[in-house]
Structure 1
Amino acid sequence: MINAAEAAMEQAAEDDGERARNRARLYAPPKNAARGQRRHPGTAMNRGQAQALMAQLARQDSQLGRGASG
């Protein structure tokens, strides 16, 4: 898909400078990657939270397996 975008941009460019700028924009890292933010704030889990979530899911799974509703 990037190759198709690059080819379309190459054809639309009027000179070598514009082609170089287009290529730089196309292959530039995301803007938030420069600041080191790869996740949205507040979305990361620590080990304890992940284990608590897994335990909750296991409880719900066992309740569904028994046919319980609560």
Structure 2
Amino acid sequence: MNQAAEDDTERARIHAELYAVPREAQPRRQAPQRGRATRADVEALMARLEAEDAALGTTR
């Protein structure tokens, strides 16, 4: 492979391609989900549900 390269830059590119981590083994990056509840949103919802339960006299 190195013999096919014409200069050091091409040798480096070939070397990088040969020894790179396979794409299947690389962790996938996920885009942030839109509309996802934050921790503060969930805590506010839980507090509201607890208040409703207390008002109704029930427990979860």
| TM bin (shorter chain) | 0.3 to 0.5
Q: Could you say which structure has the higher helix fraction?
A: 1
Larger radius of gyration: 2
